[in-house]
A and B are shown apart, each in its own frame.
Chain A
Amino acid sequence: MTTMTEASVREFKMPDVGEGLTEAEILKWYVQPGDKVTDGQVVCEVETAKAAVELPIPYDGVVRELHFPEGTTVDVGTSIIAVDVSGGAAAPAPAEAAPEPEPEQPQGRQPVLVGYGVAQSLTKRRPRKGPQVTVQEAPLQAVQIELNGHGSAAVKERPLAKPPVRKLAKDLGVDLATVVPSGPDGIITREDVHAAVAAPKAPEPEVAAPAPAAAAPVATYDGARETRIPVKGVRKATAAAMVGSAFTAPHVTEFVTVDVTRTMKLVEELKQDKDMQGLRVNPLLLIAKALLVAIKRNPDVNASWDEANQEIVVKHYVNLGIAAATPRGLIVPNIKDAHDKTLPQLAESLGELVSTAREGKTSPAAMQGGTVTITNVGVFGVDTGTPILNPGESAILAVGAIKLQPWVHKGKVKPRQVTTLALSFDHRLVDGELGSKVLADVAAILEQPKRLITWA
């Protein structure tokens, strides 16, 4: 990293965009060396333990250098970009692309204040004085020691124990640093302290060596340009399910774009409804209800293909799956017997399903036995997609972003809330006619939600 010293060059330092955060990862640069920037213009996106945010540059001028590539974690207070503010200056120093990431060791403890934890990443730290090792030169062990102290170098981690246990240890004259913890996350329990008193001559190496940190999934870098991530857990399950589904069930996907203004209005009204108080009412709820009604009118779509027995199994119940992006990856829990539920019951089940999934607490049972699925890709801002069937099911409905768009309404072009629906189905047992009817029914209900009553 070079630091500009010329009078006309300004350095923009990584600000603390949260409260008391120590570092942030550069996710994306929106500018390159040579680009003109104006005061207040967003130049990059960074992510902290709290949030992903955009940073506006406080200078007018021309970008001289980006000090770090995307993907680098940088300490608060470190210069990240240099801007030449001399105005009429000629073209800046040869536009040098953002430097490549240098392979460095992932970090130990990082402050996580809210959210889903911090991704392992490369780190650049604000240089420290004196004898401390700097990360750039440090071997792995040294890095861990430095980070354990959360900023101050070579400080030993304080043993974890609750205050009454600390007092007990003090009263009994036990140094907590010599106690082997047995509690969760390495917490020293009351019993551990008593055990330490009972066996004061515990083997030296065992008590002296801190328990090794649980092996975190660490990405290895083969060269500087690629990251190899072991396939396991949810990712492995997702991959297997997707391959299995995509290469056994011949997929057909159909699309329809629909004016959902009335549905959105109904959502607002339902929010105020006495029976819906305390429940999450959102468009997804009504889309789920619409799909349930469409299935009632076209029951054969709610079926599965039994290859072994050469039979089609039509289900007289609906276990409604909802694809959920969770901290652990994609999962599809389902609402059992959704066809039997009233709207408040469905809202309650949906709310529970989503919050359980977000907390990463979805049980395996909740993910089994689904008969049909909804995937709400609209939350990511996209219009639609061609979803792959959840294995064992014959239909999956993708819901796109609901956006205000010009739409011909009652003979005039009006801003209306419009979305695109996509239905993929297994063509072995669902013909184009049946699939189209299901999709058209869902669309018709969302366009005119009173059909929920007339068709129910």
Chain B
Amino acid sequence: MTVESTAARKPRRSAGTKKSPSTKPELVQLLTPEGKRVKHAENAVYDKYVADITPEDLRGLYRDMVLTRRFDAEATSLQRQGELGLWASLLGQEAAQIGSGRALRDDDYVFPTYREHGVAWCRGVDPTNLLGMFRGVNNGGWDPNSNNFQLYTIVIGSQTLHATGYAMGVAKDGTDSAVIAYFGDGASSQGDVAEAFTFSAVYNAPVVFFCQNNQWAISEPTEKQTRVPLYQRAQGFGFPGVRVDGNDVLACLAVTKWALERARSGEGPTLVEAYTYRMGAHTTSDDPTRYRGDEERLAWEAKDPILRLRQYLESANHADEGFFAELEAESEALGRRVREAVRAMPDPDHFAIFENAYADGHALVDEERAQFAAYQASFADAEGGK
């Protein structure tokens, strides 16, 4: 792709280059790992977006995170029981996802990766719908337009371009909706992401690039991914970048609201780097003990997003024992519902993978199908397609 400046849409605000945004503070944090609410002058621009947050809102964020973690754990367990082919756990990234997800309006549009289970939750996509794809019984599982939540994208980083194009369309429509694209530290090295940054900046597209830097791109650490903190990359493209404590749900909510407001008011794209940690494996096929030490995980455990909000809720008397007990019961019920729903799903059709690649079929695919059928039939206990 190339950028033709003559074709570029005139920015709604000022043309030309913008003032280089400030890189202060280095990390936006409103709740410390110990659950203390902090107010710094340099956070003021973000803090005002959560200034009027109610105890009920806070309990809602907590509930979202707990239920997301519970359903995620159930999915991992179901994969281990052979009910799902694969699962990518979001363990540790709940605050980044719930904070940003709850900052969105219904008319905003989300372009997720394959790990945005918390954002899906915020968009009202039922957890059981996410699991069909991981079981291999459908190619998506939900209608993207009913929740403004695009299908999961497995290809790394390509959704940032889709989001940029969609955002350019939103701008042409003249609405004040915003678009958010999720991606990770690994995707930041993809050409697609650089192209998305370039186009969104030049076209002043109303898009928020929400990067969850969970420190590991499968087994590749972030320090092998970049020489500068990721959020600082935005400067080179001409839009602001902010690093937020990705385990602080309040800060993620505030910073995302700020970035969305920039998009709505014609100020163009923003890069948000949510600094967080993937507590579990990359997917159920991965074994992180082969490439990273325990001490790192232990250090991040002390910054757990759920624990931190709980400590704040308790110390501020915003929630009582009854609330936590009720949530515990709700969480177990969700686990049970997900389990039962997945077990009731049909077994995947092993031969479906040979369909839909070619409209009119292909000799090589036919050969592979026949080979696979012979292999399946060779087992003494073969029972149909299973």
Contacts and interface: CB of A to CB of B under 8 A. Distances in A.
Given A52-B287, A56-B80, A379-B295, A279 B375 contact: no
Interface stretch (B6-14, B17-25, B376-384): B376-384
Given A13-B82, A378-B295, A381-B294, A51 B285 contact: yes
Interface stretch (B175-183, B202-210, B224-232, B319-327): B224-232
A127 B381 contact: yes
Contact of B80 (A15, A267, A378): A15
A53 B223 contact: no
Contacts of B285: 17-19, 50-51
B287 A272 contact: no
A53 B287 CA distance: 8
A402 B281 CA distance: 21
Contact of A152 (B86, B286, B339, B378): B378
B298 interface: yes
B45 interface: no
Interface of A: 12-19, 39-40, 50-58, 77, 114-116, 126-130, 132, 151-153, 264, 267-268, 271-272, 277-280, 282-283, 378-379, 381, 401-404, 415, 417
A403 B298 contact: yes
Contacts of B221: 280
A39 B340 CA distance: 11
B284 interface: yes
Given A16-B82, A278-B223, A278-B227, A402 B298 contact: yes
- The listed residue with most A CB atoms (<10 A of its CB), out of B26, B81, B281, B379, is B81
A126 B379 contact: yes
A264 B339 CA distance: 40
B380 A129 contact: yes
Interface string B352-386: 00000000000000000000001101111110000
Nearest to B26: A272
B85 A16 contact: yes
B329 interface: no
A326 to B, nearest CB: 12
A450 to B, nearest CB: 20
B170 to A, nearest CB: 36
B381 A401 contact: no
B333 interface: no
13 contacts: A19-B85, A40-B74, A40-B77, A53-B80, A57-B81, A77-B379, A115-B287, A115-B290, A129-B379, A264-B299, A272-B26, A277-B223, A402-B298
Nearest to A115: B290
A260 to B, nearest CB: 10
B294 A127 contact: no
B82 A15 contact: yes
Given A56-B77, A56-B80, A127-B380, A50 B287 contact: yes
B310 to A, nearest CB: 15
- The listed residue with most A CB atoms (<10 A of its CB), out of B80, B339, B382, is B80
Interface residues of B, number: 42
Q: Return the 3 tightest CB-CB contacts between A and B, nearest first.
A: A15-B82, A51-B287, A127-B380
B369 to A, nearest CB: 15
Nearest to A281: B223
Given A18-B285, A52-B287, A128-B380, 15 more contacts: A16-B82, A51-B285, A51-B286, A55-B80, A126-B379, A127-B380, A128-B379, A152-B378, A264-B299, A277-B228, A278-B223, A280-B221, A282-B295, A379-B294, A404-B302
A218 B296 CA distance: 37
B39 interface: no
Contacts of B298: 401-404, 417
A19 B80 CA distance: 12
A151 B375 contact: yes
Contacts of B295: 282-283, 378-379, 401-402
B52 to A, nearest CB: 32
Given A268-B299, A272-B229, A129 B81 contact: no
Nearest to B283: A19
Nearest to B371: A152
Contacts of A114: 290
Interface in B27-76: 74
B346 interface: no
A18 B80 CA distance: 9
A70 B165 CA distance: 54
B105 interface: no
A129 B80 contact: no
A409 to B, nearest CB: 13
Interface in B264-303: 281, 284-287, 289-290, 293-296, 298-299, 301-302
Contacts of B381: 126-127
- The listed residue with most A CB atoms (<10 A of its CB), out of B82, B285, B295, is B295
Contacts of B350: none
B372 to A, nearest CB: 11
A129 B379 CA distance: 5
A372 B26 CA distance: 39
B343 A58 contact: yes
Contacts of A379: 293-295
A56 B74 CA distance: 10
Contacts of B229: 272
Contacts of B228: 277
B79 interface: yes
A152 B290 contact: no
Contacts of A152: 374-375, 378
Contacts of A127: 379-381
Contacts of B378: 128-130, 132, 152-153
A290 to B, nearest CB: 15
Contacts of B290: 51, 114-116
Contacts of A277: 223, 227-228
B358 to A, nearest CB: 22
Nearest to A51: B287
A286 B229 CA distance: 22
B223 A19 contact: no
B81 A55 contact: yes
Nearest to B285: A18
B81 A15 contact: yes
Interface in B80-117: 80-83, 85-86
A128 B301 CA distance: 47
Nearest to A53: B80
A17 to B, nearest CB: 6
